[in-house]
Amino acid sequence: MIRFENISKIYNSHSVALKDVTFEVKPQEFVSLVGRSGAGKSTLLKLLIAEEKPTGGKIFFNSQNVLKMHNRELPSLRRQIGAVFQDFKLLPNKTAYENVAFAMEVAGKSEAQIKSDVCKVLDLVGLKDKMNNFPRELSGGEKQRVAIARAMVHRPSVIVADEPTGNLDPINTWDIIRLLLKINELGTTVILATHDKEIINALERRVVSLENGTVFRDENPGRYILS
Partner 1 sequence: MLTTLNRVIKSGFMNFWRNGWLSTATVLIMTITLAVWTSIFLTNVVLTSVLNMLAEKVDVSVYFNLDTKESNILSLKSKLEGMKEIASVEYVSAEQALLIFKKSHAGDEVLIKSVQDLPDNPLEASLNILAKDSSNYGVIADFINQSAEKSAISKINYTENKIVIDRLNNIIGVLRQSGAAAGLALAFIAFLVAFNTVRLAIYSSREEITVMKLVGASNWFVRGPFIIEGVLHGVIGSIFSLAIIVAVVAFLGPKLLNFLPEINMINYIGDNFWFLLLFQALGGIILGVFSSWFAVRKYLNV
In the list 58, 89, 128, 223, the residue contacting partner 1 (rule: CB under 8 A) is: 89
Cβ nearer to partner 1, comparing 51 with 204: 51
Q: Phi and psi dihedrals of 155, rounded to 5?
A: 50, 60
Residue 89: CB minimum distance to partner 1, A: 5
- Length of the chain, in residues: 227
105 binds partner 1 (CB under 8 A): yes
Stretch that binds partner 1, among 36-44, 97-105, 166-174, 214-222 (CB under 8 A): 97-105
Task: Check residue 92 for interaction with partner 1 (CB under 8 A).
Answer: yes
- In terms of Cα–Cα distance, which of 157, 53, 152, 38 is closest to 103? 152
135-174 residues in contact with partner 1 (CB under 8 A) are 150, 154
Beta bridge partners of 59: 4
Is residue 93 involved in binding partner 1 (CB under 8 A)? yes
Residues forming beta bridges with residue 85, ordered by sequence position: 162
∠ CA 208-209-213, rounded to 5°:
115
User: Which DSSP string corresponds to 49-69?
Assistant: TTSS--SEEEEEETTEEGGG-
Binder of partner 1 out of 27, 75, 170, 187 (CB under 8 A): 75
Q: Is 200 in the site for partner 1 (CB under 8 A)?
A: no
